[in-house]
């Protein structure tokens, strides 16, 4: 029976500082801040009450598919009066807007309003109760929107920084991927490729592996987790011969 190969790409740790404040052309500076950092512009009372707690819970939810719990975002709360020009350069901004002028909750987005590479999400609602209900019900949409924007920034930065995909990965797996600089420590096995900068701080690892596709069940969650654990446990050993999962 002819078996196709399923290629899985696992980025274990990839923290890349992007878009530091510099001239972005057209009179605008580039948005600044760290990866996955979100500024919430809201007064202290609202932040500590139900609307703020609901939004915090959404942004503080755990990243999917990691073996350990890690929040999706680093959250910074800024009061409206302190939302000065410095903070207006942030890359990800959420502005809750609770007012009776709105008949129903809704989302709106502004791109590059104060800086290039910036996104501002406005969450409008007529009252606190509807705000809480809306952000809770739209948790996935809010998180996915900012995650997608972060991935777009990383992709753009990598292609500008390293315009040529990694040749060996092209040869081995038939895919194009751009690695950040410094990923010079490479381990290869059949159907397995691991690159790392092996740094004590700012550690980055990229693992690529492939395995035979036999039935659709290989794409089920438990199956993918088992394959990941088996592959990483086999090829990536820690201290005292411990295994990574």
Please identify, in words, the CATH class of the domain defined by 37-157: alpha beta
d(CA 45, CA 28): 33
pLDDT in tens, 65-105: 777 899 999 999 999 999 999 999 999 999 999 999 999 99
What global pTM score does this model have? 0.69
| Token representation of residue 27 | 């009179």
Block means of pLDDT (10 residues each) for the chain, length 245 residues?
43 35 55 93 98 98 87 97 96 98 97 95 98 98 96 87 90 92 93 94 93 91 92 80 53
User: How many Cα atoms are found within 13 Å in the side-chain-facing hemisphere of 59?
Assistant: 21
Strands 92-98 and 37-41, bridge-based pairing: parallel
Q: Cα torsion for 165, 168, 172, 176, to the nearest 10°? A: 0
pLDDT in tens, 173-200: 999 998 888 999 999 999 999 999 999 8
Q: Which residue bears the tokens 């930065």?
A: 157
Domain ranges of the chain: 4-16+180-241, 37-157
Which residues lie below 8 Å from residue 138, measured CB to CB, with a gap of 6+?
107
């Amino acid at each position: 029976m002819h078996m196709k190969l399923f290629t899985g790409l696992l980025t274990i740790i990839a923290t890349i500082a992007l878009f530091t404040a510099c001239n972005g052309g057209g009179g605008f500076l580039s948005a600044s801040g760290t990866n996955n950092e979100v500024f919430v512009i809201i007064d202290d009372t609202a932040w500590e009450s139900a609307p703020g707690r609901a939004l915090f819970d959404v942004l503080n939810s755990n990243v999917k598919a990691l073996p350990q719990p890690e929040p999706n975002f680093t959250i910074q709360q800024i009061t409206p009066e302190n939302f000065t020009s410095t903070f207006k350069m942030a890359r990800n901004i959420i502005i809750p807007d609770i007012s009776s002028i709105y008949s129903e909750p809704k989302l709106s987005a502004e791109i590059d309003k104060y800086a290039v590479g910036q996104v501002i999400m406005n969450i409008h609602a007529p009252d606190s109760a509807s705000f809480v209900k809306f952000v809770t019900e739209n948790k996935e949409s809010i998180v996915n929107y900012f995650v997608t924007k972060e991935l777009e920034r990383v992709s753009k930065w990598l292609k500008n920084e390293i315009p040529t995909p990694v040749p060996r990965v092209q040869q081995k797996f038939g895919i194009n991927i751009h690695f950040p600089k410094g990923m010079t420590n490479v381990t290869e096995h059949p159907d397995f490729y691991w690159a790392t900068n092996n740094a004590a701080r700012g550690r980055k690892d990229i693992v690529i592996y492939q395995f035979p596709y036999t039935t659709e069940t290989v794409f089920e969650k438990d199956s993918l987790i088992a394959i990941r654990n088996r592959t990483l446990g086999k090829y990536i050993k820690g201290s005292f011969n411990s295994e990574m999962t």
